[in-house]
Structure 1
Amino acid sequence: MSMAGDGREPLPHGPDPEVNHSSIGSTSPERDPLTSLMEIRGSLMVFATVMASVTYRAGLNPPGGFWTDNIDGHKAGTPVFQDVYCTRYKIFHYFNTSSFMMSLFILLFAIKASINNSDITKIMLHLTVLMDVITLIVSYIVGAYEDFQSSTYALVLMLMVFIYLVLEATTLIVRLCKAIRQMAYVLAKI
């Protein structure tokens, strides 16, 4: 508040009339079409970089390390995990590799300058992020826990996250099907 006689006008109360407050934090149609994806571009790049780094490291240094010698029928340089738990190693390897590839896809998508802002693109990107997290969770569970009973608490927590992600993915798949159906309907009218 200005003092009497100081020559300044008092500040108005309430929102600034020159700022369109209705568009802040909303997805109103008058926004720039690329804005919504461009706003999350930085977050996607950080997410994808961290996920790619974690899965890359796990792929090059799998749980259990490597055999260092050729004794007892083991070959030096091969993963111990592969020889001791062959099925678990295969699951770990496939899910870890899938997570790594999805992380690279998300990273390349976020780097790409001309992003298509269609509903289908957003849903596919969201599904890819969810699948990336799910595959990382599976590879972590398979690689980190040898005994189910010793890891029950952690597995229950991860199962809850996994269930949430699957439900979220299901919702996105339903939205994707609706968007594709709507696009097909529009194209059929042309």
Structure 2
Amino acid sequence: MEQSNLAIDPEVLKAIYGQMARIRAVDKAIQAGLSAGKFMFTYWPMTGQECIPATISQLISKDDYMITTYRGIHDQVAKGVDLYGMFAEALGREDGVNRGKGGSPHISDPSSGSMVTTAIVGAGAPIANGLAISAKERGENRVTIVNFGDGATSIGAVHEAMNLAGAWKLPVIFLCQNN
């Protein structure tokens, strides 16, 4: 087997590690707060899923779009969603990123590029194409990343969206996280 000559800048590796540590710290804080009864909201732990969003965050720009799922708080943290606003949203407070109306499974923060969080399995893929078409038509140099779990691979809309993205040469990255 051939060895790869791929060299990664040590500063990028440090940034990835720092982002992974940040995601883990947020995860621990949420779990501790829930266990202590300090707050109550639906939560899907992200322990062990830090590397993918931490790495992606180093490869994309703040202007790039991201779509994630109800389980994607780690994606939100890595994309730069304001943590105070995220917690306030999860707690249903008016100072949340969506004024407390969406709760933890529906966080979106367009100012960070985090456009949609969907609780419908596979629903992000067609939305990603819409964002990519919009950016392409406006002449913007943006990539749209759509995160989904392995369960979404059995949803027709995901395959249809992949097919259209390829046929129309849309700047979409379909990212399956085995959760």
Name the TM-score, length of structure 1 as normaliser. 0.35
**Structure whose alpha-carbon radius of gyration is higher:** 1
More strand by share: 2
More helix by share: 1
